[in-house]
Chain A
Amino acid sequence: QKEVEQNSGPLSVPEGAIASLNCTYSDRGSQSFFWYRQYSGKSPELIMFIYSNGDKEDGRFTAQLNKASQYVSLLIRDSQPSDSATYLCAVESNNDMRFGAGTRLTVKP
């Protein structure tokens, strides 16, 4: 059974801090990794994707992938109240996509 695990949270950080979201996966053959943001009552939207080991930065967001340790993380710098949402980790392998249950992030003003 391919598993994707996330801490459900809630994770609470003050405005301006760095929020760190983590995700582990069980299938070593996984190829593509995605972070989606889902606001309450809305559908998921893509924040970042990463395919290779290392870091990938996009604005305030940095995705980190470590295939040897089978984890992928998302860092949000200078967190804003508008970043408050549930963050879903998704892992693709062999034409199958598995999502984690999501981590709820709250950024307090």
Chain B
Amino acid sequence: ETGVTQTPRHLVMGMTNKKSLKCEQHLGHNAMYWYKQSAKKPLELMFVYSLEERVENNSVPSRFSPECPNSSHLFLHLHTLQPEDSALYLCASSLTGFNTEAFFGQGTRLTVV
């Protein structure tokens, strides 16, 4: 248990569905992140929030929409996804920015059919 909890653990959705991934951290951290992990590819940083403000958006398609209502919660809203979006989506948090240790959640295994 890392103190970062993601739900759901598994999700299967059709290309026309809308779903949301949830992440919650109980560590008192100020930064939260969404990463995408595909087979045999490096972890890809998608979004960064620091003190609830988005500070990074690595050219992620608009079908992924993040939301950070407070410093403990992070959401990733999904709509009209493509099969190539199937991957493990990992949430992480750190005390401050990238130069501090990141704690990862267990991830959501997403399959788009």
- A and B interact physically: yes
Q: Which A residues lie at the B interface, using CB under 8 A?
A: 4, 8, 31-32, 34, 42-46, 49, 51, 88, 90, 92, 95-102
What count of chain B residues pass the 8 Å CB interface test? 21
> For chain A, what secondary structure do more than half of its interface residues adopt (helix, strand, loop), or is it mixed?
strand
A92 contacts which chain B residues (CB < 8 A)? 98-99
- Interchain CA distance A43-B91 in the complex, whole Å: 10
Say whether, besides A32-B98, A92-B98, A92-B99, A45 and B43 are in contact (CB < 8 Å). no
Of A43, A49, A51, most buried by chain B (CB within 10 Å of CB) is A43
Residue of A nearest to B4 (CB): A43
8 A–B contact pairs at CB < 8 A? A34-B102, A88-B42, A92-B98, A92-B99, A95-B97, A97-B102, A100-B42, A101-B42
Query: Within 8 Å of chain A (Cβ to Cβ): is B66?
Result: no
Asked whether, in the complex, the Cβ of B106 is within 8 Å of the Cβ of A88, the reply is no
* Nearest CB in chain A: distance from B35 CB, A: 8
A43 contacts which chain B residues (CB < 8 A)? 2, 90, 104-107
Residue of B nearest to A88 (CB): B43
Asked whether, in the complex, the Cβ of B99 is within 8 Å of the Cβ of A32, the reply is yes
Say whether, besides A8-B40, A43-B2, A45-B2, A97 and B98 are in contact (CB < 8 Å). yes
Residue of B nearest to A5 (CB): B42
A44 contacts which chain B residues (CB < 8 A)? 43, 90, 104
Which of B56, B90, B104 contacts A96, CB < 8 Å?
B56
- Interchain CA distance A58-B102 in the complex, whole Å: 18
Q: Which 9 residue pairs spanning A and B have beta carbons closest together?
A: A43-B104, A99-B43, A92-B98, A99-B42, A32-B99, A101-B42, A97-B98, A46-B101, A44-B104
Which of B40, B98, B101, B107 contacts A95, CB < 8 Å?
B98
Of B45, B55, B102, most buried by chain A (CB within 10 Å of CB) is B102
B56 contacts which chain A residues (CB < 8 A)? 95-96
- Interchain CA distance A49-B101 in the complex, whole Å: 8
Asked whether, in the complex, the Cβ of B102 is within 8 Å of the Cβ of A46, the reply is yes
- Interchain CA distance A31-B98 in the complex, whole Å: 10
